[in-house]
Chain A
Amino acid sequence: MLVPMPSTPFHQYELDSAWDEMLEPDGSPRSHYRQMVQLLRDLPADEIYRRKQAADQAFLHQGITFTVYGREEGTERIFPNDLIPRIITGAEWAHIERGLEQRIIALDLFLADIYGEGKILDDGIVPREMVYTCRQFRRQMKGIRIPRGRYVTITGSDLIRDPSGNFLVLEDNLRVPSGVSYMLTSRQVMKKTFPKLFQRSGVRPIEDYPQALLSTLRSLAPNRNSEPTIVLLTPGVYNSAYFEHTFLARQMGIELVEGRDLVVHDSVVYMRTTAGLRRVDVIYRRIDDDFIDPLVFQRDSILGVPGLFNAYRAGNVTLSNALGTGVADDKALYAYVPKIIKYYLDQDPILNNVETFILTDQTSREYVLDNLDKLVVKAVGESGGYGMLIGPHSTAEEREDFKQRILSDPRNYIAQPTLMLSRAPCFIEGSVEARHVDLRPYILYGEKVTIIPGGLTRVALRRGSLVVNSSQGGGSKDTWVLHS
């Protein structure tokens, strides 16, 4: 259906069953998008184009790139950024905020429990074998008292909006979520691109994220040392998110270290500096569990620090996030999160889950195998849009392949209905078109929960596509959370 606003630049804009962020079902602009619509109508086409060019240049010059795995040539790419911000009202945000806070607190309690007494397992709320068969479960963490008892410090949850406009949690990224540098740089660029609109709209600031992250990390230092040494541990220049690591380290004013910069002596972590060894108290690690300590985890890892786990166990260093947090963002355990919230907080979830089929359950499995063409199948341990089948867009061959994979390892897969993600206006080749989006807000949890008003809105830039991952043709746009 075409919108009843045929005027340029909206002549290509489509409305259908998906929730539209900008327009009411009757095609009139939602109140919080009115100024934006007006501006896009008033600006001459070449002026929009000029601003788009200027914004692209800004990204190019800042070298904001990411790496695509599995290809030899041209692995480093500029992250495509869409010009038109996604706008969220103050009321919508307040709801999201409460929901995420509730969810993170519950997941943190869950992790403390399963690596501690395991009450939720004893009470049969979450099946024991579901936890212990999770590849992200780290038995080495069992019974360890980690500094300050905080498991998830930094989370980037993925939210989507269903056709009725409800926000749902699609996944919780509790390991090493990335993308926050795109959020911050696209805000900088957007302020330059639409300064007047920005000022008039009353957008809540996000620029204090690095300070908020720093004070969160500081609050988790193992001893009551008022000036703890905090470092960011990166896998190095070849990692896809290296740009983000340098960006955050610089913004926080902390040292960016690699595994080879750190040494452990008598269960204390030091970094090698030109002025000798310096004790390290908190490590914001951007390395996966598996690679962090070759003595305990993957033995051939050269990215990690031998002995780090011992120092951690001795309580001499804080790792953020804690090790083993991946068990709580396992895509199968995800289905239990509403029960987990109920169990620890005695509350109903404020943000709902997406309906999820657990494939170890025979009835569900049969249903899923019969309906592969309608469902989305995901490997439980993968992220970034890898290892995924999107039923309606798949070939018979792909479906057969996934069927075999599910049958040989049902624990490793889950299925969900194909979701109509909401759509937001994007600037595509001179006109404004609707594209599917999701939302990744960033949540910090030190002594209390802090949620930055905004986040990364990811866009599936290909028409009709539902995959927003940067590695699969996605882009991003600035996210404006309004004061009112």
Chain B
Amino acid sequence: MLSRVADSLYWMARYLERAEHTARLVEVQLNLMLDQEPGSSERRWGRILTSLGLEPPASFAIEGSTIARMLILDHSKRSSVVSCIMQGRENARQVREQVSSSMWIQLNRVFHEIRRVAHSETESDLAEFVAAVRDAGYLLQGITDSTMVHDEGWQFIQIGRYLERAQSLTKLLDVHYREFFPKSETGGDARDHLEWIGLLRSCTAFEAYCKTYTADLRPDRIAEFLLLNPEFPHAVRFSIDTVQRSLNSLPEASESRKASRLVRLAGRLSASLSFTQVDEIMGQGIHSYLEGIQRQCGQIHSSAYQGYIDYPIEMALPA
């Protein structure tokens, strides 16, 4: 397949995953704000912004709903939900003939809905709206998986979606554990309890966690679940395993040295997530472990680019 097409499908998936992730963070936060105590909400917005790679506001005089609106509807912010959906759609538009018509229609539906809300003057019910965006994301993923041929193009969509997911998950975990983990070693309190539920729900993981470990919320178990679980779709290990599977199913890139480096990188990360014990991670410091995952995800991305999309001509001439 054309490298440009693979590139567009990959970024379409990344942007749409990013939009869904941000929408979910905002949704959970708006819900948590309902039973907050003074100060906790501002710090939480600060953490969300940090985990999305944005500067937290200098003063917390800004209303939470203003930040929420910015994260969802601000066109000028590249990481806002509306920007991500626009960029995802633009990438899909560039390869319109490669995506199924049902996907394109659903994508347009989300796009027009979010634009309508963004342009409307009336203060809409943001919570309801982010929930709709999140559901639209699930629907789109379902349509993609059930209407597209699971060929090379679909594999690039998988790689984009799950690499993005692994990276946003690790960022979110990092920010959260920095603030709450040292405290919880000494027991934690009721407010912290709410924060851990928030974290799980931001990863659609609360019910799934309870099913596995009961409602007894312990930071090490939460880390184990969100990092190392092989069966939960919003766990880092599940995401990396999916990336690895998709990479393995791609046809040999012309220059096999590049491809084998890529397979090695993904395999190593997947193996590390499969064989590491959570006590080791907590023992050596979860922060450095998460940073390691981030770095390796970055390497997988650039190596996939060098192998399949942006390779130098001299190395790819047919023999």
Contact = CB atoms under 8 A, between A and B. Distances in A.
Contact of A272 (B4, B152, B251): B4
A279 B318 CA distance: 8
A184 to B, nearest CB: 16
A237 B96 contact: yes
Contacts of B316: 272, 276-277
B77 to A, nearest CB: 25
Contacts of A249: 97
A37 to B, nearest CB: 38
Contacts of B192: none
Contacts of A275: 251-254
Interface string B243-254: 000000011111
B225 interface: no
A206 B308 CA distance: 40
Interface stretch (A117-125, A163-171, A253-261): A253-261
A276 B253 contact: yes
B300 to A, nearest CB: 16
B301 interface: no
Given A237-B93, A274-B253, A276-B254, A263 B2 contact: no
B30 interface: no
A258 B8 CA distance: 13
A276 B2 contact: no
A313 to B, nearest CB: 20
B115 to A, nearest CB: 15
B255 A276 contact: yes
Contacts of A260: 4
B4 A258 contact: yes
A276 B259 CA distance: 11
A250 B97 contact: yes
B3 A278 contact: no
Interface residues of B, number: 24
Interface in B86-130: 93-94, 96-97, 101
A78 to B, nearest CB: 16
A226 interface: no
A271 interface: yes
A191 interface: no
A279 to B, nearest CB: 7
A261 B313 contact: no
Contacts of B190: none
Contacts of A250: 97
B309 interface: yes
B6 interface: yes
Nearest to B252: A275
Given A249-B97, A256-B97, A272 B2 contact: yes
B206 interface: no
A246 B317 CA distance: 28
Interface string A377-401: 0000000000000000000000000
A263 B314 CA distance: 11
Nearest to B6: A274
A47 B37 CA distance: 67
B310 to A, nearest CB: 9
B6 to A, nearest CB: 5
A274 B154 CA distance: 13
A256 B95 CA distance: 10
Interface string A298-341: 00000000000000000000000000000000000000000000
Given A257-B2, A263-B313, A271-B2, A276 B97 contact: no
Interface in B213-261: 250-255
Interface string B1-27: 111101000000000000000000000
Nearest to B251: A275
A412 to B, nearest CB: 37
A111 B253 CA distance: 43
Contacts of A148: none
Nearest to A263: B313
B1 A277 contact: no
Interface string B145-165: 000000010000000000000
A277 B97 contact: no
A249 B97 CA distance: 10
A237 B96 CA distance: 9
Contacts of A279: 318
A408 interface: no
Nearest to B94: A237
Contact of A276 (B94, B101, B152, B311): B311
B135 to A, nearest CB: 25
Nearest to A264: B313
A272 B3 contact: yes
Interface in A240-288: 246, 249-250, 255-258, 260-261, 263, 265, 270-279
B181 to A, nearest CB: 42
Contacts of B251: 274-275
Contact of B3 (A63, A246, A256, A273): A273
Given A256-B97, A265-B313, A265-B317, A277 B254 contact: yes
A476 B253 CA distance: 46
A52 B316 CA distance: 53
Given A263-B313, A265-B313, A265-B317, A274 B3 contact: yes
Q: Tell which of A236, A237, A276 has the most Cβ of chain B within 10 Å.
A: A276
A311 to B, nearest CB: 14
Given A237-B94, A257-B2, A274 B313 contact: no
A265 B101 CA distance: 37
A277 B2 contact: no
Interface in B294-319: 308-309, 311, 313, 316-318
Contacts of A273: 1-3
A87 to B, nearest CB: 33
A136 B183 CA distance: 77
A275 to B, nearest CB: 5
B96 A246 contact: yes
B302 to A, nearest CB: 16
Q: Closest 4 A-B residue pairs measured CB to CB?
A: A276-B254, A246-B97, A272-B3, A276-B316
27 contacts: A63-B101, A236-B94, A237-B93, A237-B94, A246-B97, A249-B97, A250-B97, A255-B2, A256-B97, A263-B313, A265-B313, A270-B313, A270-B317, A271-B2, A272-B4, A273-B1, A274-B1, A274-B3, A274-B6, A274-B152, A274-B253, A274-B308, A275-B251, A275-B253, A276-B255, A277-B313, A279-B318
Given A272-B3, A279-B318, 18 more contacts: A237-B93, A237-B94, A246-B97, A249-B97, A250-B97, A256-B97, A270-B317, A270-B318, A272-B2, A272-B311, A274-B3, A274-B250, A274-B251, A274-B253, A276-B316, A276-B318, A277-B313, A278-B318
Interface of A: 63, 236-237, 246, 249-250, 255-258, 260-261, 263, 265, 270-279
